[in-house]
Amino acid sequence: MARNRHLQAFLLIAAVAAVQLATMISDTQHYLTQLTMSGYYSLVIIGLCLLIGYAGQISLGHAGFFAIGGYTSAFLTTYDLTPVSDKAFIAFLSRTGMLVSTADLYGGQVLHLHPWAACLIAILLAIIVAYAIGGPVLKLKGHYLAMATLGFGTIVYKVVLGTEQFGAADGISEVPEFALLPGIAVSGKLSMRIMNYYIAWGLVILGVVLLSNLVHSRVGRALRSIHGAEDAANAMGVNTGRYKLNMFVISAVFAAIGGVFLTHYNGGIGPSEASIMKSVRYVAIVAIGGMANLWGALVMGFVLNFLSLRGYFGSYDDAVFGAILIIIMLFTPEGLLRRDLFSDIRSLFGSGKDLEEKV
Amino acid sequence: MKVAKLAVLLLAMTLMVVSPVLAKETIKIGAILAVTGPAAFLGAPEEKTLVMMVDDINKKGGIKGHALELIVKDSGASPEKALSFAKQLIEEDKVLAIIGPSTSGETMKIKGVAEEGKTILLSCAAAEVIVNPVAKYVFKTPQKDSYAVIKIFEEMKKMGISKIGVLSSNTGFGKAGKEQIEKLAPEHGITILVNEVYDKAASDLTAEVTKLKAANVQALINWSIEPAQSIVIKNARQIGFNGQIFQSHGFGNIKYVEAALPAAEGVIFPAGRLLVADTLPNSNPQKAVLEKYKKEYEQKNRGEEVSTFGGHAYDALLILTKAIEKAGSTDKEAVRNAIENLKGVVGTAGIFNFSPQDHNGLDINSFEMLTVKNGKFAVLPEPKAKKK
Amino acid sequence: MNIELFFQYLVAGVTYGTIYAIVAIGFNIIYNTTGIINFAQGEFVMLGGMTAVTLHAFLPLPIAILSAVMITMVIGALIEITFIRWLISPSVLRMIIITIGISILVREIALHIWGAGVKALPYFSGTAVSAISIGDVHISPQVLWVIGVSAVMVICLNLFFTYTLPGRQMRACSANRDAARLCGINAKNMVTLSFVLSAGIGALAGCVVSPITYVQYDGGTALAIKGFTVAILGGLGNSMAAVAAGLLLGILESFSIWVMPTAYKDVISISILLLILFVRPSGLFGSKEAAQLKEF
């Protein structure tokens, strides 16, 4: 079992490297831009997959967490502190190295919070919000749960759209690059493209390994019992409420991290990232990938986002997602990549057994 | 300037030497437009306009023998898609220039990409920040919001109005207008008593206009492009608001006027002259261009009314064509320099006079104050008596 | 706040509220017979309005509206037959996703048929500025049309469910589907009927409100979210409560602009919904027993 998971992770690493080499050899490195972007979206999707597929809780508001991450980070790293730089607190931040000064597009200097600090605050905020709303929301079931999460997503969307500090309908632009370590930065610059591809997919690999270990642990078994029969699980002494809440928070953190990094990579964020349609797309992709199938969700998340970002669907982008949702749910509610064919292939690796018949 | 001209000349000369090889090369032009999604009212007419123009140019043998190839990408008004498409167009399609995006939010996100990729960006979005401060490769064709606001304030002064209420929608367009109104009001002696932002999908604004009426404002300015702008007028008149109603230059769609008749009668708004093309005197330099565009567009699109938004795309491609002709080459730098030196280009929005400091090229006279008279747009008569 | 202003806000609130309530009733009818929340309910409203506007180009207004309602009903039936009828006990999650998919698809098809432009029917009586004035309170006649038509609709529905055979069969299905089937009721047909009915209600609502609010290809989504909010606020399945909840929410929203910028209007209404969901998931007016009986 464990060895198989290692094998899967190893295969993923190999695939990521192979793709990069392939683009290098075929001189199609421009694909890396969309590959990087879809990597960050995949991060949201594997987190959501954990929540929908394994804990059995739908969220129609996950773009909200993505936006909380992205907007918090964008706001904190673009808000110019120069006018208040003499205040004691700001001076303290400055001394501790929490502030940096960057040049904007026109050569002016902007004194702002260090992206690392902003990133941590963004994630912390996502955790707090997820705990605060997750508690009561996850007590709900079925349509009520759908409505509550949809409501949360709508609130985040309306707040970013209505708040001037967040740029209202224009969003936030000119977000600086995120220097992870000296010499390594999340940035959309052409010269750093290969590095950013590896940063994005490195995060995805890390995320998928973490989650895959989680679902194969005791926690995972408890989760599947919740999904199967929550009352029975409760009777057996599984604290279902706590498990659900924790999964909700973890998936929110994944979405927020995706938001933070993509915002720095794109150099900005707009309200479309918080829209309900985005949340629905995330759900669609998880559904297509096979609800309780991390790897399926990852593959579909990458493929569909990549195609969409490349503009292959043209003016039918949303229509394509709508049609896919209906077709998959009508004919293969357990997802495209959960068909017998696929589990047959996977059973060759011996890992298909424990996931079967779980939606 | 001199250096730039010299560079153009030099480039033109080098190109003339190699021109036999290049003569038949097609010119690729990218367009990132919100053809669908929340800003489709901008992107859809822009796309139709560009397709129509490119067909036309190619039928006539292209620009100096170069055929045009138009690559339209539908961003659905999402900045992240616009960004991905901009990189694609610049690196893979190696376009000469990008027309669009339709919205200011998207334009601001890809400004840096255009600068880094040294590719001309002709934005169809209105916000002033796009060209102020000037970025080397970024231009825009719609008139500045601030001119529209100043025009309105000047009209107010003539009519003796000083206390106003402002309504705007929560879109980029509404936001930009609201900012300019707030910024420019004090210097024109205007006091804003009520300042409300409503949702772009709002279907009834009675509550908002009631607030305005309660504050006893003399006039109302509404700044939006959505159907809400005619809902505002209707609701205001229904509750018995008697003050003057001003609209932004986004009011230029006769459909909205028809939907709000007779409430729309007497609404005053600044706009380009496209809407009143047929009533312009023959001496007006824009008349020929406007009538031609209007006729062609409405013929091609089965009677769909021409809008000023499509006009912004028209101007963008027109400027690009003129610049390519002037530069006599398809080199990005040469064309960019040529745009910067274009003077007196008659477009749908006005007469463009670019300079290295001004990447918009329009002055305040590109706006005309219009009003609605007998259900049609008409130029506001100059000696204006104060309305009831 | 003076008294005229108060009433003006009240009227605005009642107008919003009535629209929300009609959409919520559409949700409830389908929910009662199937246990499904049809996320495409807002699209019926849009389709009704759009079709009526198109037909009005060559038909007189009443006939155009009638035909539009009929056409939308047929579309409702087709949607049910194509996507829902043949599913065997689908999970709630699956149904949520399918109806969301349908809503997206209908919206995109509408975009490619009618374009992104805004359309509207003419005012049924009077013009855009005509108003019935009571003192300083001004009410558009169309608002009275909206309220009147909605009231008639609610009464007719009540009569339908109480006195007609199909109405009683539908109620039987919602109370206990298996028992109803044992009594010889074709439960599947009742589901189709519920889709037809709620499509018709939505379409009629779309026609009546279109002079005030206009119709646009993507107008259904916002309405669906509000309608869903109201349906839950009143207690899922309870249509009389939906009317009360709709009015309450409409009035609340209308008065909320005294304290909050209008841009946050939706934030207020949805926050209230979340609070109520957390405290009383059965809705404001729903009791546990009522939720179990699920009668109209």
Kindly tell me if the per-residue pLDDT of A82 is higher than 90.
no
Q: Is the peptide bond before C60 cis (omega within 30 degrees of 0)?
A: no
Give tens-digit pLDDT for A62-72.
999 999 999 99
Q: Using CB atoms, which residue from A159, A284, A326 is nearest to C102?
A: A326
Question: Which stretch of A43-47, C112-116, C242-246 has the lowest confidence by average pLDDT?
Answer: C112-116
In this structure, what token pair is assigned to residue A132?
Answer: 């605060």
Chain B contacts of A105, Cβ < 8 Å?
A: 111-112, 115, 135
Residue at A255: amino acid letter: A
Percent of chain B with pLDDT over 90: 26
Chain C contacts of B198, Cβ < 8 Å?
A: 262-263, 265
Q: Using CB atoms, which residue from A33, A268, A309 is nearest to B79?
A: A268
Q: How many CB atoms lie within 10 A of CB B285?
A: 11
Confidence of residue C237 (pLDDT cuts 50, 70, 90): confident
Helices of type H across A163-239: 193-215, 218-228, 230-235
Distance separating alpha carbons of residues A80 and A91, to the nearest angstrom: 14
Classify the C-alpha dihedral B265-B270-B271-B276 as positive or negative. Answer: positive
Interchain CB distance below 8 Å, A268 and B133: no
Average pLDDT, chain A: 83
Whether C252 contacts C272, CB under 8 Å: yes
Where exactly does CATH 3.40.50.2300 map onto chain B?
A: 2-143+286-357, 145-271+368-379
> Is C266 an interface residue toward A (CB < 8 Å)?
yes
pLDDT on residue A156: 94
Average pLDDT, chain B: 84
In this structure, what token pair is assigned to residue A220?
Answer: 């995972």
Distance separating alpha carbons of residues C43 and C217, to the nearest angstrom: 8
Task: Name the C residues in 103-122 with CB < 8 Å from any B CB.
Answer: 111, 115-118, 120
Question: What's the total number of domains in chain C?
Answer: 1
Confidence of residue B206 (pLDDT cuts 50, 70, 90): confident
- What is the distance, to the nearest Å, from the Cα of residue A143 to the centroid of all Cα atoms in its chain? 24
Q: Using CB atoms, which residue from C16, C130, C138 is nearest to B204?
A: C16
Q: Any residues with CB less than 8 A from the CB of A281 and at least 6 apart, and which?
A: A321
In this structure, what token pair is assigned to residue B231?
Answer: 């809902």
> Is B188 an interface residue toward A (CB < 8 Å)?
no
Give tens-digit pLDDT for A261-298.
999 999 899 999 999 889 999 998 888 887 778 888 88
Kindly tell me if the per-residue pLDDT of B19 is higher than 80.
no
Residue at C142: amino acid letter: Q
The residue-averaged pLDDT of B243-267 equals 82
Distance separating alpha carbons of residues A256 and A156, to the nearest angstrom: 13
The residue-averaged pLDDT of C139-159 equals 88
Q: Which CATH architecture has domain B145-271+368-379?
A: 3-Layer(aba) Sandwich (3.40)
pLDDT on residue C293: 40
Q: Measuring CA to CA, which residue among B150, B148, B147, B122 is closest to residue B137?
A: B122
Chain A: nearest CA to B313, how far in angstroms? 19
> Is C262 an interface residue toward B (CB < 8 Å)?
yes
Whether A120 contacts A134, CB under 8 Å: no
Chain A contacts of C32, Cβ < 8 Å?
A: none
Chain A contacts of C232, Cβ < 8 Å?
A: 143-144, 147
| DSSP code of residue A243 | H
pLDDT on residue B10: 54
pLDDT on residue A221: 79
Give tens-digit pLDDT for A180-231.
888 888 888 888 888 999 999 999 999 999 998 888 888 877 777 777 677 7
Range of the domain at C87: 3-293
Higher pLDDT, B382 or B10: B382
CA distances to A310, B232, B238, C89, C132 from C129, in Å: 48, 11, 5, 52, 10
In this structure, what token pair is assigned to residue B106?
Answer: 């998207």
Higher pLDDT, B258 or B246: B246
Mean pLDDT highest for which of A105-119, A300-314, C167-181, C253-267? A300-314
> Is C259 an interface residue toward B (CB < 8 Å)?
no
pLDDT on residue B384: 47
The residue-averaged pLDDT of B42-46 equals 89
Give tens-digit pLDDT for B222-234.
998 777 788 888 8
Distance separating alpha carbons of residues A108 and B217, to the nearest angstrom: 41
CATH number for the segment(s) B2-143+286-357: 3.40.50.2300
Chain A contacts of C92, Cβ < 8 Å?
A: 141-143
The residue-averaged pLDDT of A71-79 equals 91
Residue at C165: amino acid letter: L
Residue at A69: amino acid letter: G
DSSP B224-270: -SSTHHHHHHHHHHHTT--SEEEE-GGG--HHHHHHHTTTTTT-EEE
Q: Chain B residue closest to C253 (CA)?
A: B207
Chain B contacts of A164, Cβ < 8 Å?
A: 175
Helices of type H across C164-287: 165-175, 177-182, 187-213, 219-234, 239-256, 265-279
pLDDT on residue B21: 43
Chain B: nearest CA to A348, how far in angstroms? 38
| DSSP code of residue A180 | E
pLDDT on residue B387: 43
Residue at A219: amino acid letter: V
In this structure, what token pair is assigned to residue B252?
Answer: 């230029």
Confidence of residue A240 (pLDDT cuts 50, 70, 90): confident
Percent of chain A with pLDDT over 70: 90
Percent of chain A with pLDDT over 90: 29
Question: Which stretch of A115-119, C2-6, C143-147 has the lowest confidence by average pLDDT?
Answer: C2-6
In this structure, what token pair is assigned to residue C111?
Answer: 């975009």
> Is B33 an interface residue toward A (CB < 8 Å)?
no
Residue at C79: amino acid letter: I
Question: Strand (E) positions, A135-279?
Answer: 172-173, 178-181, 184-186, 268-269
Kindly tell me if the per-residue pLDDT of B79 is higher than 70.
yes
Give tens-digit pLDDT for B97-124.
999 798 888 998 898 889 888 999 999 9
Best C89, C93, C221, C230 residue to mutate vs chain A (most A CBs within 10 Å) = C93
Average pLDDT, chain C: 84
Interchain CB distance below 8 Å, C116 and B40: yes
Kindly tell me if the per-residue pLDDT of C88 is higher than 70.
yes
The residue-averaged pLDDT of C73-99 equals 86
Interchain CB distance below 8 Å, A318 and B81: no
pLDDT on residue C291: 45
DSSP B120-168: EEEE----GGGTSS--TTEEE-SPPHHHHHHHHHHHHHHHT--EEEEEE
The residue-averaged pLDDT of C112-131 equals 79
Give tens-digit pLDDT for C10-63.
888 888 899 899 899 998 888 888 788 888 999 999 999 999 999 998 899 999
Distance separating alpha carbons of residues A32 and A41, to the nearest angstrom: 14
Q: Taking the domains of chain A in order of start, what are their residue ranges?
A: 2-80+114-355
| DSSP code of residue A125 | H
Distance separating alpha carbons of residues B301 and A139, to the nearest angstrom: 54
Best C118, C133, C137 residue to mutate vs chain B (most B CBs within 10 Å) = C118
Q: Which fold has domain A2-80+114-355?
A: ABC transporter involved in vitamin B12 uptake, BtuC (1.10.3470)
Confidence of residue C78 (pLDDT cuts 50, 70, 90): very high
Distance separating alpha carbons of residues B70 and B35, to the nearest angstrom: 15
Distance separating alpha carbons of residues B64 and A213, to the nearest angstrom: 64
Chain A: nearest CA to B386, how far in angstroms? 35
Distance separating alpha carbons of residues B377 and B264, to the nearest angstrom: 10
pLDDT on residue C187: 82
Cα end-to-end span (Å), chain B: 53
Kindly tell me if the per-residue pLDDT of C157 is higher than 70.
yes
Measured CA angle at B185 (ends B181, B190), to 5 deg = 125
Interchain CB distance below 8 Å, C266 and B238: no
Question: Which stretch of A14-18, B65-69, B166-170, B199-203 has the lowest confidence by average pLDDT?
Answer: B199-203
CA distances to B20, C17, C42, C294 from C25, in Å: 72, 12, 11, 13
Consecutive H or E run containing B377: strand B376-379
Q: Any residues with CB less than 8 A from the CB of B96 and at least 6 apart, and which?
A: B27, B28, B29, B119, B120, B320, B324, B330, B332, B335
pTM: 0.86
The residue-averaged pLDDT of B278-297 equals 87
The residue-averaged pLDDT of C248-263 equals 81
Strands B27-33 and B97-99: parallel
